[in-house]
A and B are shown apart, each in its own frame.
Chain A
Amino acid sequence: MLKILVCISHVPDTTTKIKFEADGSALDRTGVTFVINPYCEYGLSRAIGLREEGKQVSITALCVGGPEVEPTLRKALAIGADDAVRIDAPANDSAFVARQIAAYAKGKEFDLIFTGKESIDFNGSIVPGMVAELMDFAFISFATHMEMKGDNSATFHREIDGGMEVLDATFPVVVSCQKGISEWRIPNMRGIMAARKKPLAKVSPAEVREYVDPVKLTYPPARGNTQYFEPEDAQGLVGTLIDKGLI
């Protein structure tokens, strides 16, 4: 039996036009739809794939967050997780989140912890590596492929600058997932019905400190003061790019 933990973060839908509160203290949540972080969905899908390949698996979906994240966890259950856990604490600091996940996972003998390569809100790419270190697990970052090798190890591909790395690792491992490792899945009606009855536990947070203090959110400098050239005037564009030292 492979015990799998899938860490899920709850993020604004990728089409969201990001707006912040006027004082820059937080995201303005009005009208924002929240979804499973797309990279986490790759991890969840890969875990379900292992079951379809005939492995005995148990899949727990976990999210650190307030009650508002529960619909996101329900969706993970609808897609195919067996049970879900919400660690009841705000997720403002990746180092804090990683310590919450590790505190929960310690002693539970997970073989595999799937995460996304990064959470599309703060794009930190911090939680998975920290969980690996805190748990003393091997860590496969930016995984694009995973194939079981026997019952207790797997071959992975991971993305690197300018190519791909092939490696083997014996479990337990933390795998941070990106495109390639699996395809996203749409929950079907049966899954959605079943999800209502699956357990979703609320767990109290461990006592850990925060490492990073958010100060303010602002916008990148506005762009789009576009200088247009006529379609016939490729020369004009090329000349300008040369003058600006861009090419």
Chain B
Amino acid sequence: MSILIFAETADGQLKKPAFEAATYACDLAQKSGEAVHAVAIGPAEASTLEKLGQYGVSTVHHVHDEAMNAFANAAYAAAVTAVAESIDARVVVLPQTYNGRAIAPRIAVKLDAALFSGVISLVDPANGFDATRSAYSGKGIEEIKTQCDKLVITVKANGYRVEAQPTEVTVAAFAFQPEASDLNAIARELIKASEGISLTEAEIVVSAGRGMKGPENWGMIEELAGLLGAATACSKPTADMGWRPHHEHVGQTGIQIAPNLYIAIGISGAIQHLAGVSSSKNIVVINKDPEAPFFKVADYGIVGDLFEVVPRLIEAIKAARAAA
């Protein structure tokens, strides 16, 4: 028996969530004594996939069928399942990315396994795979178990550490041919949101809301984000009013994120906004209203006018960088 991870790639490169999934599987393997395998789908160099060895993966099964160079939900799920069956995987770990979440339910049905999504703890294989996951949009935590002997898990992005645990690794081609019907819905074009940092993967997110007064004032937000290597985000009304692009909208009805640092500027902290960001590990709030609900969940706060505070922050960061 063994553990399989879905090592997601984009443009031929492994994505950070793939390493989170690998670390997760590796920690699990240490408990259960099983080997960690990975499946990667689509074009990627063997030398790239070998990097998974640094994170404890002993075998990478590479599915490389021309027809599957672009993401196709059913075909990808079938390929991961085929690999899982060939190695008698007991646990399949996927990153909680858009594509990971899109294929996990199919894989669970195919394997007749239980599916735990958005897991934030290491499952306990000796105790019904006992695990915790976030629920009610971050307002609750749910502990769950299963009586199934097989399990599929998606691990929350930025929800698990990445740690090198080097091992000997082999990359082997895995022969797999998709059914024509499984290629019905295949990506034919990708539209990149921006050259910026992906919001779901970013370590730091600088976010602003209606307190900004208008889209013309966002220059300082972008400058601050640029200095910190951060992604930018916004509240729902600012996206709805067209001040900011929709893909930046975070919250209950937008994107849910869990960066290491979330900086909220001129955002009141409505419950629906918090639902998308309260899993952030550290929160800084800048708001002129001391009663703004966001302060209730803040680790660091400044009560003040953002048009004065943000430029000062930018200067202070520049000064600190210059001094270092």
A-to-B contact residues, CB < 8 Å = 12, 14-18, 20, 27, 38-39, 94-95, 98, 120-130, 132-134, 138-142, 144, 156-170, 173, 178-180, 211-220, 223-235, 237-242, 244, 246-247
Q: In whole angstroms, how far apart are the Cα atoms of A140 and B102 in the complex?
A: 8
Chief secondary structure at chain B's binding surface: mixed
Contact yes or no, A241 B185, CB < 8 A: no
Q: In whole angstroms, how far apart are the Cα atoms of A220 and B141 in the complex?
A: 6
Q: In whole angstroms, how far apart are the Cα atoms of A165 and B298 in the complex?
A: 35
Contact yes or no, A14 B252, CB < 8 A: yes
Q: In whole angstroms, how far apart are the Cα atoms of A159 and B247 in the complex?
A: 9
Inter-chain contacts of B136 with A (CB < 8 A): 12, 18, 27, 120-123
Q: A133-B110, A227-B301 are in contact. Are A126 and B246 (CB under 8 A)?
A: no
Contact yes or no, A217 B73, CB < 8 A: no
CB distance from B93 to the nearest CB of A (A): 16
Contact yes or no, A238 B71, CB < 8 A: no
Count contacts on B: residues with CB < 8 A to the other chain: 94
Contact yes or no, A220 B140, CB < 8 A: yes
> Does B69 reach chain A (CB closer than 8 Å)?
no
CB contact between A235 and one of B108, B191, B283, B319 (< 8 Å): that residue = B319
Q: A167-B187, A213-B147, A241-B300 are in contact. Are A129 and B193 (CB under 8 A)?
A: no
Inter-chain contacts of B254 with A (CB < 8 A): 179
Inter-chain contacts of B103 with A (CB < 8 A): 129
- Chain B residues 139-164 with CB under 8 Å of chain A are 139-148
Contact yes or no, A223 B137, CB < 8 A: no
Closest B residue to A242 by beta carbon equals: B320
CB contact between A165 and one of B106, B187, B302, B317 (< 8 Å): that residue = B187
Q: In whole angstroms, how far apart are the Cα atoms of A231 and B99 in the complex?
A: 42
Closest A residue to B261 by beta carbon equals: A246
CB distance from B205 to the nearest CB of A (A): 12
CB contact between A224 and one of B296, B308, B319 (< 8 Å): that residue = B296
Q: In whole angstroms, how far apart are the Cα atoms of A39 and B137 in the complex?
A: 13
Inter-chain contacts of B145 with A (CB < 8 A): 212-213, 215
CB contact between B249 and one of A156, A179, A217 (< 8 Å): that residue = A179
> Does B65 reach chain A (CB closer than 8 Å)?
no
Contact yes or no, B114 A211, CB < 8 A: yes
> Does B284 reach chain A (CB closer than 8 Å)?
yes
Q: In whole angstroms, how far apart are the Cα atoms of A94 and B103 in the complex?
A: 15
